[in-house]
Amino acid sequence: MKETKIYIGLNDAETKKQRHETERYIEILKTVCHNYHVAFSFSVAQGGYFHADGQYTQEQSLILSLIDAENGTVNEIAKDLCMFFHQESVLITEGAVRAYFISEQLQQPDCD
């Protein structure tokens, strides 16, 4: 299976500051994933990077994780999030992952 991660910074591309509360960005991310019918998970992280002009920025980011999503869908989601969050760009990483589910049911005691 393939795991794809999309890293989306929350600082605005022009002002270099976060414009909205993190929860608002999370709700947008959830809506985008729902609209594309993809299963997902995400985390909130702190990070730093260099802009194209060499300026260093630290910011809060969302990391969206997708398992076995089609490349075209991943790219469309990334483009939407880049636009909605007003970013210069977003980072996509992908790699092979061993993924499987484990299920266990609890035994209910007899109520006799």
Architecture in CATH for domain 2-96: 2-Layer Sandwich (3.30)
- Residue 11 is predicted with a pLDDT of 95
Give the domain ranges of the chain. Answer: 2-96
- Residue 107 is predicted with a pLDDT of 79
Q: Cβ of 21: how many Cβ atoms within 10 Å?
A: 10
d(Cα 112, Cα 46) in Å, to the nearest integer? 54
Residues in the chain with pLDDT values less than 70 = 112
- Residue 112 is predicted with a pLDDT of 62
d(Cα 21, Cα 8) in Å, to the nearest integer? 14
- Residue 55 is predicted with a pLDDT of 84
What pTM value is reported for the model? 0.87
* Residue 82 in tokens: 């880049």
- Residue 51 is predicted with a pLDDT of 78
